[in-house]
Amino acid sequence: MPTGLPFGPDDDKLHEECGVFGVFGHQDSAALTALGLHALQHRGQEAAGIVSFDGKAFHHERHFGVVGDNFTERAVIERLPGDRAIGHVRYSTRGGPMESNIQPLFAGFSGGGFAVAHNGNITNALSLQNELQRRGSIFQSTSDTEVILHLIATSRSGRLVDRIIDALSELEGAWSLVCLSSKKMIGCRDPLGVRPLVLGDLDGSAVLASETCALDIIGARFVRDVEPGEMVIVTPEGIESLRPFDRRRSRFCIFEYVYFSRPDSVVNGRGVYEVRKRIGAELAREAMAPADLVVPVPDSGTPAAIGFAEAAGLPFDLGIIRNHYVGRTFIEPSDAIRHMGVKLKHNANRDILAGKRVVLVDDSIVRGTTSSKIVQMVRDAGATEVHMRIASPPTSHSCFYGVDTPEQSKLIASRLTVAEMEDFIKVDSLRFLTIDGLYRAVGEAHRDSGAPQFCDACFTGDYPTRLVDLENGRSVASEDAGADPVTLLTGAA
Amino acid sequence: MPTGLPFGPDDDKLHEECGVFGVFGHQDSAALTALGLHALQHRGQEAAGIVSFDGKAFHHERHFGVVGDNFTERAVIERLPGDRAIGHVRYSTRGGPMESNIQPLFAGFSGGGFAVAHNGNITNALSLQNELQRRGSIFQSTSDTEVILHLIATSRSGRLVDRIIDALSELEGAWSLVCLSSKKMIGCRDPLGVRPLVLGDLDGSAVLASETCALDIIGARFVRDVEPGEMVIVTPEGIESLRPFDRRRSRFCIFEYVYFSRPDSVVNGRGVYEVRKRIGAELAREAMAPADLVVPVPDSGTPAAIGFAEAAGLPFDLGIIRNHYVGRTFIEPSDAIRHMGVKLKHNANRDILAGKRVVLVDDSIVRGTTSSKIVQMVRDAGATEVHMRIASPPTSHSCFYGVDTPEQSKLIASRLTVAEMEDFIKVDSLRFLTIDGLYRAVGEAHRDSGAPQFCDACFTGDYPTRLVDLENGRSVASEDAGADPVTLLTGAA
Amino acid sequence: MPTGLPFGPDDDKLHEECGVFGVFGHQDSAALTALGLHALQHRGQEAAGIVSFDGKAFHHERHFGVVGDNFTERAVIERLPGDRAIGHVRYSTRGGPMESNIQPLFAGFSGGGFAVAHNGNITNALSLQNELQRRGSIFQSTSDTEVILHLIATSRSGRLVDRIIDALSELEGAWSLVCLSSKKMIGCRDPLGVRPLVLGDLDGSAVLASETCALDIIGARFVRDVEPGEMVIVTPEGIESLRPFDRRRSRFCIFEYVYFSRPDSVVNGRGVYEVRKRIGAELAREAMAPADLVVPVPDSGTPAAIGFAEAAGLPFDLGIIRNHYVGRTFIEPSDAIRHMGVKLKHNANRDILAGKRVVLVDDSIVRGTTSSKIVQMVRDAGATEVHMRIASPPTSHSCFYGVDTPEQSKLIASRLTVAEMEDFIKVDSLRFLTIDGLYRAVGEAHRDSGAPQFCDACFTGDYPTRLVDLENGRSVASEDAGADPVTLLTGAA
Amino acid sequence: MPTGLPFGPDDDKLHEECGVFGVFGHQDSAALTALGLHALQHRGQEAAGIVSFDGKAFHHERHFGVVGDNFTERAVIERLPGDRAIGHVRYSTRGGPMESNIQPLFAGFSGGGFAVAHNGNITNALSLQNELQRRGSIFQSTSDTEVILHLIATSRSGRLVDRIIDALSELEGAWSLVCLSSKKMIGCRDPLGVRPLVLGDLDGSAVLASETCALDIIGARFVRDVEPGEMVIVTPEGIESLRPFDRRRSRFCIFEYVYFSRPDSVVNGRGVYEVRKRIGAELAREAMAPADLVVPVPDSGTPAAIGFAEAAGLPFDLGIIRNHYVGRTFIEPSDAIRHMGVKLKHNANRDILAGKRVVLVDDSIVRGTTSSKIVQMVRDAGATEVHMRIASPPTSHSCFYGVDTPEQSKLIASRLTVAEMEDFIKVDSLRFLTIDGLYRAVGEAHRDSGAPQFCDACFTGDYPTRLVDLENGRSVASEDAGADPVTLLTGAA
């Protein structure tokens, strides 16, 4: 069963749903993949899986829980022999967790075995699934990724690479994939490059990973981003690059900078920590507050708070301390205890806050419930004024590209104005970074509203692809969306 | 992980690979199915699974290990709501156990969900799988049963029942199936009726089971055997019977009487215990021995030994005691301990055996290794003569119809004459029942060699169906047989 | 957590609470002890433990569940190094199971470490515990065995053997012990020899065990019984025998022959299977019935049924089949299912029973609830008459010597006459063996009522020792009896 | 089994061995204790335990692993009923972990049950244990805390409180205790007050905890420190304070400020975060460096780094990012991977460090191995100069008061001069805070060398108590120290 997270602030965040990794041509491929996935653990904590190939057979391990609990024993790694392996970490709260959804997914085609690890979301998955089922394909998971396998299996083309291209051409949405066949490791990104994927090198072995921090952990050298619409094919002979799709202006997910990526990663060419500090500086310029002290909501608000404090010339202090020990959700045996919930993860540093006017910096606000608890905690600790500054624009729209977002109606910014949110959260002032401020922080002059340089749909509602399943009246964001009532299977092993 | 069996005598038996069960229209369907599978546990101990349907969704639980360890807690049964459920127990030693092989298998078709539990083996599964893969089907297990799902999924017919008939018409081999769709429970047997399947009634709810002992445990009334080639369709409106296949003379597995079925079951119209006693009596008539005492190799040799003793007018005694406590295979840290292996399950009853001439009755001899250990143990306990009598003819051929048999070359009777076996096992005399004696015990005058009344291929090599995959050079008996080297997937969850 | 047994007949038996084993001077001591305990598993299935000594340190493993599930892996055995080891299997239903009660118990004395495995029960344990606590001893378990450790620890004598003798001299009740110090293995029995203990030899290594079946499994030679009141001291130099206690006429537990011991064991000089057959023969002589068939309630009634059938000249048949697969207790989701309970373990063999007058042979009747369910099952299968014959006298008194007995008021024979029981169980006739018949079966001319040759208190109420705690108003049979309300500790690890 | 920590920096820290907590008179006592222990998790991650009392019986749960994994389910909390409970978290690496060492320890005295949770270490535990064993006490754990239970059990005094005072009067060393009897909760600190203990109030219920952060998590109000040598007795009638021991000048552990306590706690009257910032400021004054940037080794170096940066007027940046996901120790299948170890927890933030002169601030250096790996990582990321500043004096002596310290010879500062360490760690400069600087940071003018205001033995070797066991030639710091070779027991359950 999955290890839950304690109730608390992080449950009020958007969550990246996946991280992917692969290494080709290294004797320790499975151990390296476990390390790479450990470095990508912030992208998904529900489950992890690894598939390796040893020249004769594919080997598969998949487990609920974090990498550090399930892929560290020698016996597990020894069940994954071979000089090539790919892996996946997954986050999901909706729908019952099913083991058959843990990636990499695997299929035995007539031409051989094939495994795929997917970061992103296919926005026409249900439409494709319905068509495939009508033609006789059997679905074993409720994952949109399985559509890709069936499209490859039913392609009329001959060579595997052509079959993959056929399949990907059918997809709408976001997909950064790492695939493993008996002969090749393949990395590819959708034409808009919504989700990240980087190529690295470890002493001559090719590495693919969602972020550079997964290269760092194994000492691999960063080579370059896999480009939007590019397909990188790794074989013992070397690396080949194809560009089978029409070129389009890239629309990288700007929220990777705001929250998803690790601060020590370089994504899409920019250092995440630096971008976050610049976001804080922009925020100070746009929305200064009369205060004695800048305090981050740790850990996600910390780099922006440092940037804000520097730009504002205010002291930076850890006025809130985070307890990093986690575990399953604590029970709440009585109302008395239910009301203490927020302190499981965060505690106010009374000595620092008492009698102070505080600028509180957080990366984003989703439902708003956690923010109001944090503000209350800071006030209880004696702060005289609390000015909340958010390192992104209001999150007003759901994401359909591989991020776990609540329904739009649950997003506080879709229902309330900033002034109303200020009341709800009970702060002395609340300000969000502007969308242009965010674009400046990532290095653009401003947002090009005719052809935005990034995917910023969660702030603007400007979705860069068709949302086919949604248009067809089905919620593609739901894990179980593909399931006709009578075909739904739940289960545990 | 699977619970192994201790090393010892039973590892030197043929093993039925499956038992199936289903109940339709009872509020306790999953709990009843767990009980039914518990009664069928002797047909497969590696893993068990249940699928239920509650009018909206299918629910699935599958676990390695015995029913009594995995399907007894309230929480498990509550995860299987609904008034209809089917289940399966499975035995397998070959190939790594894979969770995706635990039945019932489930598929979401375009028309709805569908689960199948299969007892038997499809002898053209690989040929069909290759063809299906070429047309784009993806296989997720290494079970021959999955072929059935894909054939249904890709059938061009409209109604589910027609699609199932299309699928089954493609199959060679043995199959007793219990299936569950959102509207129906379906039971069917192959045209030869190789494996058993019975229909029962529990206060108006239809029940399907491999043996009548699974009806008894829940107090259900035995109605009749599902007939060879029959398809029984259970709906809330009642039970319909179809006979979509050509009629052929039935060839029920005669080994069900020798060893597989429980002695308290009535299979194919005959009480198993009575048949076994008659086998013992035939054996006494055919192969009397000068002895003081008849001793069974428990538990499988016991009914025949009682029959032998009665017919021979000799005392019957429990000269060998069986320890029924089991668990995982015991380690063997040194050669000294390795040589004690056999006593884990069986111990000689010294007081009874010392100074006696003993007739030792066992049901069959597979590899012969256990028999020689048992004989040695009986001699060590002081028996002056040991005359071994086997309640079946020599097992000289592999089974391809859902029984776990060693390769033919491992069957001692395929390599040695009875006289040579006598030497190998080191008995004073060794005799097997004749094939006609066996037919007499089950109620026939003799074996009709032109059109045998039963499947007795393990004794005669006379296989009642084509062995398509075997003819194509592939061992259909192997669990992994379908696996091209590059598509083989092993794994654990 | 402990693995329960299914509800069913065996829950209506008396249960031996323990089996003990030890081996000294063999490189595979822990593995041999695991095998020995496996052979003694019928004496206790709740938990098992082993302590070994490797010349430097003692090592300890204890686990809930059967030996075959917990002591079979190489890693477990490797955590128990050394050439000497002792072990214990335990049965208990009363009080919450506590890990600290799993034996062998261990204590670090000033003179070194000491482990003890105990079969029996100390009838003045609470009185001793109260006195020891008053003097400052701290109790960590609710086991009466812990008293022995504290008495040794607080003895004023110098040498360990003298301290043990001091301690044992304080005890009332029954105790067969196997102990391990850093220098010695010690076996001893109380002066009455209530519980069994045998000495064996494995290629020069001394072995101690509750029954000979535990010698057989490892191929050890039976040497002799440890005698009542004897203390056997095993060192590398050899075996020394002490008789530190006053000689008294032995009072071996006669119920070991009726039910507790394994039929292939020789206890107190008599083969158990043979005694049981003679019991059946006595029963036939004393209480013949007009019948077609003798049917045992398996497995415990089987040898007596064979003896009955032989003596009566009636056919013996397996009219009831036992399912040996067990597991945790099955849930009972509804009343409908609750009423099927009994068939989890036993099923009637309809073909054999229909239309027959049946003699049903069981070893004993405790509460009577199971007997009535079995009789009903036999009638439902078509038996025209059911004559129940019990291979022991009515069990009318509780045991205080290491047997799990219900309170006396729950024993059906303490409340009802045989005629009333006949009504309750709904049999055509019910007869018990007489006490003299039982004595004859074990080889005595009759019971010497002035100085009985055996402990038969469960049948006669004639307890061979003082029941000190009971006289003091405390139920010594209760596991938690030592616990003052405010000292009771429950817990789980 | 215990959940290990990944190899990495934290394995090169001193570790507080325990945290204690108790609450009296609250219906949710066990749930509150679980929360309190979660807040104290940094004081011990190996195991946790809770004992509650419900007016009739004590209840006990103890588990290896963190609180969040073992004490969050309703079923666990429901097994701990009652309005009073105490708990303990434990850290230990030496000796095999034994369940019997998990606190609170419990004993049934003649007067009733008694549980104790201990933070600290008894420096004459072995001498006391030897004496107690000679008098007949049996030890069941290898914990020094068990001595306290036996001293209470064997006290000649009558009332429990007097017996406790008798017992504590025998002890040398450090002990902050939380105890639970059937009538009282008792908190006490040794006369020197080496380890912390605070008293809080939750709506009228008394709370005891190692640190104030455990009050904050449940919303309890901080009342005051339990004073050195004080005994606080909580009953339903209220709180009584005794001072049974001679008054001595307190010697609170100064390392609690350096590393052990959580930054949001107030210990011994001073806010930990503020002290750490002042330490950083003192360090900047004492040991400024020519640099562009101040970077903490997270998380323990962060507050001092903020203080350093402020005092030095240099920018503060997160040049090293910590991965907070942990799990069991990762395997290291090859040398190649072994050399990557350090990045499991820490990664350099390349963008920030490249081309910069860096001041690296850490709280202390123990073995020095991690520091050299971190420095190398910072240099690999492009830093041109690395100046290491340590927020405490050189750690040159072992602690015997409840801290897990390596043997003195493993402490780099006991073997090398600062100049030699500079070479070993390969930094451009290395400076430690002076002992007077540390005293200034905690608010003293300077260290009073005649009568030091704190225990600073790890820096100065000036131990405030006798080290009786050490003087007797036994290593009291060792968990197994009490164990004579022949009494040592290892085991697992």
- Residue with structure tokens 């050298």? A221
* pLDDT per position as a tens digit, B4-29: 223 333 457 777 789 999 999 999 99
At B474, the pLDDT band (50, 70, 90 cuts) reads: low
Q: Does A182 touch chain B (CB under 8 A)?
A: yes
The alpha carbon of A23 is separated from its chain's Cα centroid by a whole number of angstroms, namely: 21
Residue C490: the pLDDT is 59
* pLDDT per position as a tens digit, D19-46: 999 999 999 999 999 999 999 999 998 8
Q: Does C349 touch chain B (CB under 8 A)?
A: yes
Q: Is the pLDDT of residue C394 over 80?
A: yes
Q: Is the pLDDT of residue C489 over 60?
A: no
Residue B333: the pLDDT is 54
Q: Is A264 annotated as a binding residue?
A: no
Annotated binding residues of B for Mg(2+), written as ranges, equal 300, 362-363
Average pLDDT, chain C: 89
Handedness of CA D4, D9, D15, D20 (dihedral sign): negative
| D489–C60 CB contact, under 8 Å | yes
Among D378, D368, D316, CA closest to D346 = D378
| B138–A130 CB contact, under 8 Å | no
Fold for the domain defined by A274-323+340-441: Rossmann fold (3.40.50)
List the single best residue of A331, A345, A377 to mutate versus D (max D Cβ within 10 A). A331
State in words which class domain C276-323+337-441 has: alpha beta
| B32–C347 CB contact, under 8 Å | no
Contacts of C among chains (3+ CB pairs under 8 A): B, D
Average pLDDT, chain D: 89
Q: Is the pLDDT of residue B211 over 70?
A: yes
Spell out the long-range contacts of C290-293 with Cβ–Cβ below 8 A and sequence spacing 24 or more: C290/C357, C290/C385, C290/C387, C291/C356, C291/C357, C291/C358, C291/C359, C291/C385, C291/C387, C292/C356, C292/C357, C292/C358, C293/C317, C293/C319, C293/C352, C293/C353, C293/C356, C293/C357, C293/C358, C293/C359
Q: Least CA distance to C267: which residue of chain B?
A: B351
- Which of A18, A179, A188, A213 does the annotation list as catalytic? A18
Whether the Cβ atoms of residue B393 and residue B459 lie closer than 8 Å to each other: yes
Q: Is the pLDDT of residue B330 over 80?
A: no
* pLDDT per position as a tens digit, D295-326: 999 999 999 999 999 999 999 999 999 998 87
Residue C479: the pLDDT is 30
Q: Does C334 touch chain B (CB under 8 A)?
A: yes
CB < 8 Å to B487, chain A: 58, 108-109, 112-113
d(C-alpha C109, C-alpha C193), whole Å: 28
Residue A94: the pLDDT is 42
To the nearest whole Å, the CA of D59 is away from the closest chain C CA by 5
Q: Is the pLDDT of residue D435 over 80?
A: yes
Amino acid at C428: D
Q: Does C110 touch chain D (CB under 8 A)?
A: yes
Residue B324: the pLDDT is 87
Residues of D recognised as catalytic: 18
Q: Does D73 touch chain A (CB under 8 A)?
A: yes
At B460, the pLDDT band (50, 70, 90 cuts) reads: very high
Residue A330 per-residue DSSP state: P
Q: Least CA distance to A34: which residue of chain D?
A: D330
At B465, the pLDDT band (50, 70, 90 cuts) reads: very high
Q: Does B491 touch chain A (CB under 8 A)?
A: yes
Known catalytic residue at C188: no
Q: Least CA distance to A158: which residue of chain B?
A: B134
CATH of domain B274-441: 3.40.50.2020
Token pair of C53 as six digits: 């000594």
The alpha carbon of B421 is separated from its chain's Cα centroid by a whole number of angstroms, namely: 26
d(C-alpha D122, C-alpha D472), whole Å: 14
Residue C467: the pLDDT is 92
Q: Is the pLDDT of residue B489 over 70?
A: no
Fold for the domain defined by A9-251: Glutamine Phosphoribosylpyrophosphate, subunit 1, domain 1 (3.60.20)
Q: Is the pLDDT of residue B410 over 80?
A: yes
At D109, the pLDDT band (50, 70, 90 cuts) reads: confident
Residue C482: the pLDDT is 36
Longest dimension (CA), chain D: 73
Residues B242-260 have a mean pLDDT of 93
Average pLDDT, chain B: 89
> What percent of chain C has pLDDT above 70?
89
Token pair of C298 as six digits: 């398996």
Whether the Cβ atoms of residue C360 and residue C295 lie closer than 8 Å to each other: yes
Residues B446-454 have a mean pLDDT of 95
| A108–B139 CB contact, under 8 Å | yes
- E strands of C95-181, at which residues? 105-109, 112-122, 173-181
Q: What is the pairing mode between strands B205-209 and B18-24?
A: antiparallel
Which pTM was predicted? Answer: 0.88
Q: Picking from A162-166, C66-70, C213-217, C451-455, which range would have the lowest pLDDT averaged per residue?
A: C66-70
Whether the Cβ atoms of residue C85 and residue C60 lie closer than 8 Å to each other: no
Token pair of C380 as six digits: 């439902």
Tell me which of 3.40.190.150, 3.30.70.2190, 3.40.50.2020, 3.30.360.10 is the CATH number of domain D270-324+340-441: 3.40.50.2020
- Which of B18, B179, B188, B213 does the annotation list as catalytic? B18
B403 phi and psi angles, rounded to 5 deg: -120, 140
Domain residue ranges in chain D: 9-251, 270-324+340-441
* pLDDT per position as a tens digit, C263-305: 999 998 899 999 999 999 999 999 999 999 999 999 999 999 9
Q: Least CA distance to A322: which residue of chain D?
A: D264
**DSSP H or E segment with residue D108:** strand D105-109
At C92, the pLDDT band (50, 70, 90 cuts) reads: low
D222 phi and psi angles, rounded to 5 deg: -75, 125
At D340, the pLDDT band (50, 70, 90 cuts) reads: low
Contacts of D among chains (3+ CB pairs under 8 A): A, C
Residue C475: the pLDDT is 45
Q: What is the pairing mode between strands D385-390 and D357-362?
A: parallel
ipTM: 0.91
CB < 8 Å to C488, chain D: 56-58, 108, 113
- E strands of B151-289, at which residues? 173-181, 185-189, 198-202, 205-209, 221-225, 231-235, 238-242, 252-253, 266-267, 270-271
Q: Does B321 touch chain C (CB under 8 A)?
A: yes
Answer whether A9-251 and A274-323+340-441 agree in fold: no
For chain A, residues with pLDDT lower than 50 are: 1-10, 93-96, 475-487, 492-493
d(C-alpha A298, C-alpha A324), whole Å: 10
Residue B477: the pLDDT is 34
| C263–B39 CB contact, under 8 Å | no
Q: Which of B69, B262, B299 sits opposite C327 (nearest CB)?
A: B69
The yes-or-no reply on B/D contact (3 CB pairs or more, < 8 Å) is no
- Residue with structure tokens 């072994």? D338
For residue D324, count other CB atoms closer than 10 A to its CB: 14
Q: First CA to last CA across chain A, in angstroms? A: 9
Q: Picking from A201-215, C224-238, D103-117, D389-403, which range would have the lowest pLDDT averaged per residue?
A: D103-117
At B336, the pLDDT band (50, 70, 90 cuts) reads: low
Residue B2: the pLDDT is 27
d(C-alpha A270, C-alpha A349), whole Å: 33
Annotated binding residues of C for Mg(2+), written as ranges, equal 300, 362-363
* pLDDT per position as a tens digit, A92-108: 644 446 778 899 999 98
At D219, the pLDDT band (50, 70, 90 cuts) reads: very high
Q: Least CA distance to B213: which residue of chain C?
A: C347
Q: Does B443 touch chain C (CB under 8 A)?
A: no
